[in-house]
Amino acid sequence: MNASVIARLAHLTFSLFIATISYQAVAEEPLPSWNNTAAKKTILDYVEKVTTPGTDSFVPAEERIVTTDNDGTLWAEQPVYFQLLFALDRIKTLAADHPQWQDTEPYKSVLAGDLKQLAAGGMEGVAKIIAETHTGMSQEEFAAIVSEWLATAKHPATGKAYTAMVYQPMLELMDYFRANDFKVFIVSGGGIDFLRVFAEELYGVPPEQVVGSTLEAKFEMQNGVPTVIKQPEISLVDDKAGKPVGISRHIGRRPLVAMGNSDGDLQMLQYTTIARNKEDTLPRLGIIIHHTDAKREYAYDRNSHIGQLDKALDEAPQRGWLVIDMKDDWQQIYP
Amino acid sequence: MNASVIARLAHLTFSLFIATISYQAVAEEPLPSWNNTAAKKTILDYVEKVTTPGTDSFVPAEERIVTTDNDGTLWAEQPVYFQLLFALDRIKTLAADHPQWQDTEPYKSVLAGDLKQLAAGGMEGVAKIIAETHTGMSQEEFAAIVSEWLATAKHPATGKAYTAMVYQPMLELMDYFRANDFKVFIVSGGGIDFLRVFAEELYGVPPEQVVGSTLEAKFEMQNGVPTVIKQPEISLVDDKAGKPVGISRHIGRRPLVAMGNSDGDLQMLQYTTIARNKEDTLPRLGIIIHHTDAKREYAYDRNSHIGQLDKALDEAPQRGWLVIDMKDDWQQIYP
């Protein structure tokens, strides 16, 4: 077989493969957990628009970047961020080796389950808890601790495993984007190393596509073993104005689609969708998950202490952001 | 057509596609610019070893991470790093708007082409030059400036465009890794935003797979346009002990293969290849490019002021790192 015959054969079989797969994709209805509302249609139309070759709105695959928030966008975030619940549980586990914690704040409040008192101590107390539970160890050691916690801990209200409190419609949406050659990145205010423990298995997002709040780290040889140790200093707070910075640092190009649920995502939505100049005409999509379902999940927005959605909700109509009403647009919440 | 028929048809055509492509891969000899020395065989054997399913040494595709240095590993780095030459050229361009620079160090030395005097001023002078040429603008503005420079500037010794001074054997090696489902990341002491300007076109490495020295950045609205502005503070020096930190921050998992050419890559090579414990038995590969070819490129190692290769060269035999002799192992240097 000469090279040109091989190339033609490869092309033919590849075309047949693509045609078959495409037929299969059409045969299965996308986003089955979404109701057939305007929101679903807006998403399907958008994806068709940017993936149809030969049109003005076509976007090459390498530019199809989706950035999505995690807490309140991919999984629940009430009564408080799950990562904070992890840290509090971890303090309880470590307390056996730290008898002095019984009389020392902020540990005392945590051990007494008094979160109001912890909150009253302000950011300093929370920072101590985070430093104690998240630093002084390697990424791998931290991952093992989080893994064990995720495998056993239950949500205080639902009794479900935390990993069971992901939103089925969002799992389907990420799959749908990927099936259309989008690359999905998580861009979260949560800790980057915390997210990386479950993002690949739960969301299909590999560690290198996770952006999150980041601690400094330090390389050292420990008994001849090269180790990167997490330090108690902050490298990036990947929230609010920090999200476009995290995107710029980790991804290095502007997203085509951004998804969030709170004012913590406002600047990411702006950075993604607001045109830079008159030539900047590619259609971009901002999506806000609005928690409207007190019965199946939670209902909160402008006055919530977690996941406050106020400014971004006001700005949504003028920016053309798609606001998803969880109650009306989602047929199912959890898998 | 029902789902199972579709699935079978997809599987059949996919198998045919893969078989055809595999035949084609075999038909074309990999790494054509490499001589048939032991080095080439070591690389081919290694890739076969970790990609053969059903063996103890098989590594799933998502763990096939390659990290590679840039300066002196993918392109030349003499007489000094090309990024520094960019900064010096840029100072000359900007000088028209800064008449006071004619009498002010470090600008005065740069404008006079007196690099010895610049070097005598130490890191403070160089830091000023970098701040002046790399900060106070957006990633996009910076990229446009670098692009224009790359399109016109010529190397002082060879007269070639800088982008023509990439190593053809390394382009082939990265292609070969990718053809075997490895994911290639650049991990460079050079600036992340500088590298991202040409890494995708020149090396096939997209911006999100570039790790480099990083400046802080700040989000702001400029006349209603969301902008991330590069700041004159350092977030990460991605060199020496900073390389494993950059890998940990951006990739979040340990590489399977690391490639470098200097002591700046020593810790990355250690981090990649030294076993963590007795269960850590996957074969990992460290590669050092040794500049031995004064005729076709440059010959330097232990005493070079740029790209010094001393400790890593000493450590190579005991660690089992593959040392590439550019003179003997490479049939061709530049494309």
* Confidence class for position B16, pLDDT limits 50, 70, 90: low
Task: Compute the average pLDDT of residues A258-281.
Answer: 97
pLDDT digits (tens, 9 = 90+) for B234-274: 999 999 999 999 999 999 999 999 999 999 999 999 999 99
CB pairs under 8 A between A and B: 149
Pairwise CB contact (< 8 Å): B253 & A207? yes
Pairwise CB contact (< 8 Å): B24 & A7? yes
CA separation for the pair A214, A189 (Å, rounded): 9
* Confidence class for position A28, pLDDT limits 50, 70, 90: confident
Query: pLDDT at residue B11 above 70?
Result: no
Query: pLDDT at residue B8 above 60?
Result: no
DSSP SS3 for A239: coil
Give the β-pairing of A210-222 and A225-236. antiparallel
Task: Compute the average pLDDT of residues B162-183.
Answer: 98
pLDDT at site A105? 94
Suggest the residue from A13, A29, A141, A222 to mutate for an interface test with chain B (most B CBs closer than 10 A). Answer: A13
Measured between CA atoms, how close is A209 to chain B, in angstroms?
A: 8
Task: Compute the average pLDDT of residues A330-335.
Answer: 98
Nearest-CB residue to A248 (from B16, B139, B249): B139
Suggest the residue from A248, A253, A254 to mutate for an interface test with chain B (most B CBs closer than 10 A). Answer: A248
Task: Compute the average pLDDT of residues A58-64.
Answer: 97
Are A69 and A261 within 8 A, CB to CB? yes
pLDDT at site A1? 44
pLDDT digits (tens, 9 = 90+) for A182-200: 999 999 999 999 999 999 9
Pairwise CB contact (< 8 Å): B3 & A24? yes
Nearest-CB residue to B17 (from A3, A13, A228): A13
Regarding predicted confidence, which is higher, B17 or B211? B211
Pairwise CB contact (< 8 Å): A225 & B276? yes
Bridge partners, residue B227, by sequence? B220
- Chain A residue with CA closest to B250: the answer is A208
Say what the pTM is. Answer: 0.91
Pairwise CB contact (< 8 Å): A6 & B16? no
Pairwise CB contact (< 8 Å): B218 & A245? yes
Kindly state the tokens that stand for A165: 């409190």
User: How much is the mean pLDDT over chain B?
Assistant: 93
User: How much is the mean pLDDT over chain A?
Assistant: 93
Query: pLDDT at residue B197 above 60?
Result: yes
Residues of A with CB below 8 A from B228's CB?
A: 244-245, 247-248, 271
Q: How far, in whole angstroms, is CA B200 from its chain's centroid? A: 11
pLDDT at site B122? 85
Nearest-CB residue to A270 (from B9, B226, B247): B226
Kindly state the tokens that stand for A311: 């400014």
pLDDT at site B119? 86
Q: Rounding to the nearest 10 degrees, give the CA dihedral for residues A140, A143, A149, A151.
A: -100
Query: pLDDT at residue A309 above 70?
Result: yes
pLDDT digits (tens, 9 = 90+) for B137-169: 999 999 999 999 999 999 999 999 999 999 999
CA separation for the pair B145, B193 (Å, rounded): 11
pLDDT digits (tens, 9 = 90+) for A35-49: 999 999 999 999 999
Residues of A with CB below 8 A from B218's CB?
A: 241, 245
- Chain A residue with CA closest to B229: the answer is A245
Residues of B with CB below 8 A from A221's CB?
A: 270
Measured between CA atoms, how close is A239 to chain B, in angstroms?
A: 11
pLDDT digits (tens, 9 = 90+) for B71-113: 999 999 999 999 999 999 999 999 999 999 999 999 999 999 9
Give the β-pairing of B285-292 and B322-325. parallel
Measured between CA atoms, how close is B165 to chain A, in angstroms?
A: 24
Q: For B163-232, give the DSSP string.
A: GG-B-HHHHHHHHHHHHTT-EEEEEEEEEHHHHHHHHHHHHS--GGGEEEEEEEEEEEEETTEEEEEEEE
pLDDT at site A121? 84
Q: Closest Cα to residue A76, out of A307, A332, A266? A: A307
Suggest the residue from B195, B208, B223, B269 to mutate for an interface test with chain A (most A CBs closer than 10 A). Answer: B208
pLDDT at site B1? 44
pLDDT at site B21? 52
Task: Compute the average pLDDT of residues A295-315.
Answer: 97
DSSP SS3 for B128: helix
Percent of chain A with pLDDT over 90: 87
pLDDT at site A13? 54
Query: pLDDT at residue A15 above 90?
Result: no
Query: pLDDT at residue A155 above 80?
Result: yes
Task: Return the HEC string of B16-75.
Answer: HHHHHHHHHHHHCCCCCCECCCHHHHHHHHHHHHHHCCCCCCCCCHHHCEEEECCECCCE
Are B168 and B81 within 8 A, CB to CB? no
pLDDT at site A5? 47
Domains of chain B in start order, with CATH, are: 33-78+166-329 (3.40.50.1000), 82-152 (no CATH)
Pairwise CB contact (< 8 Å): B217 & A249? yes
Measured between CA atoms, how close is A147 to chain B, in angstroms?
A: 15
Cα B286 to Cα B88, B140, B232, B281, distances in angstroms: 34, 34, 34, 15
pLDDT at site B17? 52
Are A129 and A110 within 8 A, CB to CB? yes
Which of B309-313's residues contact partners 24+ apart within 8 Å by CB, and which partners?
B309/B261, B309/B262, B309/B263, B310/B263, B311/B263, B311/B266, B312/B260, B312/B262, B312/B263, B312/B265, B312/B266, B312/B269, B312/B288, B313/B288
